[in-house]
Amino acid sequence: MKQPPSKNLQRILLVDDEAEILESCQRCLLSSGYHDVITENDSREVMNLLAREEVTVIVLDLRMPNLTGLELLPQIVAKYPEIPILVATANNDVDTVVNCIKQGAFDYLVKPIDVKRLITAVRKALELSSLTNELSTLKQYLFTDRLDHPETFGSIVTGNKNMRAIFQYLEVVSGTRQPIMITGETGTGKELIARAVHELSGSTGEFVALNAAGLDDNMFSDTLFGHRKGAFTGADQARDGLITRAAGGTLFLDEIGDLNEMSQIKLLRLLQEQEYYPVGSDFIKKSDARIVLATNRDLLERIKQGKFRNDLYYRLCGHRVHLPPLRERLDDLPLLLDHFLGLAASCLGKKKPTPPPELATLLGLYPFPGNVRELEAMIFDAVLRHPGGVLSMESFRAVIGDERLNSKQEPQEAATVGGALNAIFGHFPTIDEVEEYMIREAMRRAKGNQGLAAKLLGMGRQTLNKRLKGDGRTAAAEA
Ligand SMILES: Nc1ncnc2c1ncn2[C@@H]1O[C@H](COP(=O)(O)OP(=O)(O)OP(=O)(O)O)[C@@H](O)[C@H]1O
């Protein structure tokens, strides 16, 4: 039986009759992060080896005794057309190269093999191979509508067919080492998806998340890449960055639409070469962390504004999923409503309330700019204030507004929101005023319990605590 390569490992086969060449190419690929490199010095054994073991890419010397690479190439192509083959030729003979490409070789290398060229060519061949695999697996998924690991998506409550298609796509691409980009409005579940990708990839390492919003380049580089001792005033000790913690696992970079130019360049290097420099160090380091990225910004718009690099954008486009906003998957509302009612009730130590039958329909009229997070906060609030029996619609009305419930039309909606804001503040408020108001109101409703207030606000407890303490705003003091 064939020996499959372990998940995520892509097996490279080097075929050459010269042991020294095999050894040096193998060493160079291993040190570049390719962990599964096997060799064969007898060309007559290659077909047996391929029948025995799964191989992703082959580097094939053309000049070998007994059976030359030129003779072997068509045999491999005929039996294993999915394996990209890089031929190694001793001279830069155009005719030979053209002949090999015509016979199905993917690319060629000139001997003595240049290390950089070998690594680039192998990387490209592996990318091609994983794309081919993805395509054929996707075709199968399309015809069978199956999910191999539904349990991985257990924390993502949905019955929506677009979300299911996203899960299927993720099952296919999670096996590759290519970065995955997740876009979608705030609160649509991007982090949940990133965690599912981590689980699917079968990595043994940790899932490590970094929110890049508000980080300048120094903070971004230091947090992600770490620093060497003495790199800057106060750097008394060398310190590893999050990328080290994510070794063998997944690095989730959130809000990458906010990264500044310098950080974008560093991220591009990391994605392209899997390389980085700790702050203050000239020694390059390698990372094998799987990278998942997310943003709720429109990156094409950021490119137009000159705030996001084109090359980085295209690098991110390989594997991309876009999570639809909640208002575009209203079929999920009843499921989510039921899920969060149960969750809120058990968190608050209450009996799960029965929702009024019209609640899901009414919620469907609201655009949910904060998506699932907003719905979750709304339901926690309602359950918190719920005395027993059937859940009251009042707390939902208070947030959504009666008139808004009756209309989906933009201008009317704006007028209603504007009207509501004016009624509360007496004028059109600033963001800070709204934030102060929200924090004060959440603390009041949660009777001073910061954990609950944070849940209502859809923010982390620590973030709320910082706001309450840190910036000396009046709302914090009053709350
Ligand atoms: N389909 C879902 N089922 C259950 N919970 C969900 C779902 N989608 C989102 N959530 C919950 O909503 C909240 C927000 O989710 P998450 O942090 O993954 O969103 P996000 O898109 O990463 O948000 P942001 O862009 O603001 O970082 C979390 O509490 C999460 O558990």
**Is cis: bond before 334, omega within 30 of 0?**
no
Q: CA 391, CA 352: separation in Å to the nearest integer?
A: 9
Nearest to 364 by CA among 325, 321, 419: 325
CB 326 within 8 A of CB 371: yes
Give the tokens for residue 477. Answer: 């003091």
Q: Which pLDDT belongs to residue 198?
A: 94
294 alpha carbon to ligand 1 midpoint, in Å?
12
Q: Which atom of ligand 1 is nearest to the CA of 376?
A: 12
Relative to the CA of 332, which ligand 1 atom is closest? 1
| Cβ-based neighbour number of residue 103 at 10 Å | 15
pLDDT of residue 422: 64
- 373 Cα to the center of ligand 1, angstroms: 6
**Number of helical (H) and strand (E) elements in the chain, helices listed first:** 22, 14
Using left for φ > 0, alpha for ψ between -120 and 50, and beta otherwise, residue 305 falls in alpha
Dihedral sign computed on CA atoms, order 331, 183, 288, 23 = positive
Query: Which domains does the chain show, CATH number per domain?
Result: 12-130 (3.40.50.2300), 145-324 (3.40.50.300), 328-478 (1.10.8.60)
Cα(292) to centroid(ligand 1), Å: 16
Residue in 191, 323, 332 to alter for ligand 1 test, most ligand atoms within 8 A of Cβ:
191
For residues 400 and 369, the answer to whether their CB atoms sit within 8 Å is: no
Among 164, 192, 198, which residue has the most ligand 1 atoms within 8 Å of its CB, making it the best to mutate?
Answer: 192
Distance 268 CA to ligand 1 centre (A): 27
- Please state, in angstroms and as integers, the Cα–Cα distance from residue 188 to each residue in 182, 297, 476, following that order: 10, 13, 28
Q: Can you spell out the DSSP letters for 453-477?
A: HHHHHTS-HHHHHHHHHTT--HHHH
Q: Which residue among 373, 457, 463 has the greatest number of ligand 1 atoms within 8 angstroms of its CB, and so is best to mutate?
A: 373
Q: Where are the beta strands (DSSP E) in 336-414?
A: none
- Tell which atom from ligand 1 comes closest to the C-alpha of 295: 25
In angstroms, the CA 410 to CA 413 distance is 5
Ligand 1 atom index nearest CA of 254: 27
Buried b (16+ CB within 10 A) or exposed e, 164-199: eebbbbbbbbbbbbbbbbbbbbbbbbbbebbbbbbb
Give 56's Cβ-side CA count (13 Å radius).
26
The alpha carbon of 216 and the centre of ligand 1 are apart by a number of angstroms equal to 25
Sign of torsion, CA 354 356 358 359? negative
* Structure token digits, residue 437: 């108001």
For atom 15 of ligand 1, the residue with the nearest CA is 189
- Contact call for residues 308 and 302 (beta carbons, < 8 A): yes
Ligand 1 atom closest to residue 191's alpha carbon, by position in its atom list: 18
Which protein residue's CA is at the shortest distance from atom 28 of ligand 1? 373
384 to each of 53, 308, 367, 380, 447, how far by Cα in Å?
59, 43, 23, 6, 10
**What pLDDT is recorded for position 255?**
94
Give bridge partners of residue 279 from the DSSP assignment: 227
* Nearest partner of 58 among 104, 7, 111, judged by Cα: 104
Strands of the sheet containing 250-254, edge to edge, are: 207-211, 250-254, 290-295, 180-183, 319-322
pLDDT digit string (tens) for the chain, length 479 residues: 444 444 445 899 999 999 999 999 999 999 888 889 999 999 999 999 999 999 999 999 998 999 999 999 999 998 888 899 999 988 767 888 888 888 889 999 998 999 999 999 999 898 888 887 777 777 667 667 778 889 999 999 999 999 998 998 898 888 777 899 999 999 999 999 999 999 998 888 999 999 999 899 999 999 999 999 888 888 888 889 999 999 999 999 999 999 999 999 999 999 988 889 999 988 889 898 999 999 999 998 999 999 999 999 988 877 889 999 999 999 999 999 999 999 999 998 888 988 887 788 778 878 899 999 999 999 998 888 887 777 887 777 777 764 444 444 444 444 456 656 766 676 777 888 888 888 888 888 777 888 878 888 888 888 888 888 765 444 333 43
Ligand 1-lining residues (CB < 6 angstroms)? 156-158, 184, 186-192, 254, 296, 372-373, 376
DSSP class of residue 6 equals P
**Among all chains, which residue has been given the structure tokens 């609950």?**
452
The DSSP output letter for 258 is: G
For residue 166, the model assigns a pLDDT of: 92
